[in-house]
Amino acid sequence: MLNYLYLSLIVILISSFNSSFAQIVVSTIATNFSPSGVEGLAIDQNGIIYTPTGPGGKVYKVNSTNGEAHVVLSGLSFPQGGGVDPVGNYYAANYNTGAITKLTPDSSIYIFADDVPGVTGITYRPQNNSLIIANYAHNNVYEASLADSVMTVYFSGGGLNGPDGVAFDSEDNLYVANFGDNKIHKITPAKEISLFAQIEGLRSGYIAIHENTMYVSGLSVNKIFMIDLITRQISVLAGTGAAGYVDGPADSAQFNHPNGIAVDPSGERVYVADANNNAIRVISGIISGIEENKPDAPSEFNLEQNYPNPFNPSTKIKFILPEENFVSLKIFDVLGNEITTLVNETKPAGEYVVDFNAADLVSGIYFYSIQAGSFLQTKKLMILK
């Protein structure tokens, strides 16, 4: 194995939410933004949070570790939401003008796209290396290619009612949260739409997804929700429902108009833009506060698409074994040269995720291939720097 590649292997267990909120706590990492009105959070792979303050036309960059915050964009036209791509560019949605402002890691500022007034939430689409942009005013969703900024309508009408929050799962399904009717819809890659969930009084509906869990900020109900993408079970993650400002155990914590949400790359912490309290709150202990149950044995072999993809510098590769087997998982370049062996040992039945870090590899297309007994499958991944 090449010495510049890092590997860690974890077993993913089927989990159920612990309704007692054990070990899950809420705290404040940053406050006193000027002017007040934080909303529409985004977080990059390094744990850097971006939050707009709509009425003030600013975007703050917040260190999620120590809470240090400073203005990185100003003079915007009521920024409502934003998103990041795998290389660390941040995109701010200017609601009034419809411009999408791009901020690069070296602090350069560009107009990425323009003339779509009413834009709100933004998310990155790994499968197409593009941005998905919710348009609250026109009840549609745009897609904009990162390569050329060309913007087209991704989906329009069909149940959208003031779309606000947008997020993708690992299967390229898009979830859109409506401000107008408290509904969250699922749009498949084939552009088929269906009702995924409905939460009374939800309103805001900014959403974030980590693996098979969706997190939702409920502006009007002052609660943070989590939804299992497989079972669609809805649970309250934090908040009593009363408007207030109380840190501490999740079941006694209080929010006041939570209007933005982001989950860190590890899935261990969820960040909330608490608008009326003018604060960024963090919900921590999520993994330790979830009861783990022994999973049922899977029924068939499978190698899933890596996520994120494209990526920089790390990605996750998931595979499923229905029975104990000797497993070989390797990375190859486009010429068929072996780059590294990620797994080369006997594994019991279960679901596994490999973290593959290719920080020193050049941009381009690579392949990952698994062999377990007679099962052989290969898929493509892309490094984008």
pLDDT at 249: 93
In this model, does residue 291 exceed pLDDT 60?
no
3-state helix, strand and coil shares in percent for the chain, rounded to the nearest 5: 0, 55, 45
pLDDT digits (tens, 9 = 90+) for 63-104: 998 999 999 999 999 998 999 999 999 999 999 999 999 999
CB atoms under 10 Å from CB of 187, counted, come to 24
Q: For the chain, which residues make up each domain, given as ranges?
A: 19-288, 293-383
- 22, 299 in Cβ contact below 8 A? no
Chain centre distance of CA 353:
18
**If you classify domain 19-288 with CATH, what class do you get?**
mainly beta
pLDDT digits (tens, 9 = 90+) for 330-345: 999 988 889 999 999 9
| Three-class SS of 21-86 | CCCCEEEEEEECCCCCCECCCEECCCCEEEEEEHHHCEEEEEECCCCCEEEEECCCCCEEEEEECC
Q: Residue 125's closest CA among 171, 183, 179? A: 171
Per CATH, the architecture of 293-383 is what? Answer: Sandwich (2.60)
pLDDT at 295: 46
Report d(CA 106, CA 90) in Å as an integer: 11
In this model, does residue 22 exceed pLDDT 90?
no
pLDDT at 105: 94
In this model, does residue 292 exceed pLDDT 80?
no
Q: Where are the alpha helices (DSSP H) in 218-269?
A: none
Triad 239, 46, 254: Cα angle to 5° = 10
Calculate the average pLDDT of the chain. Answer: 87
- Using 50, 70 and 90 to split pLDDT, how confident is the model at 296? low
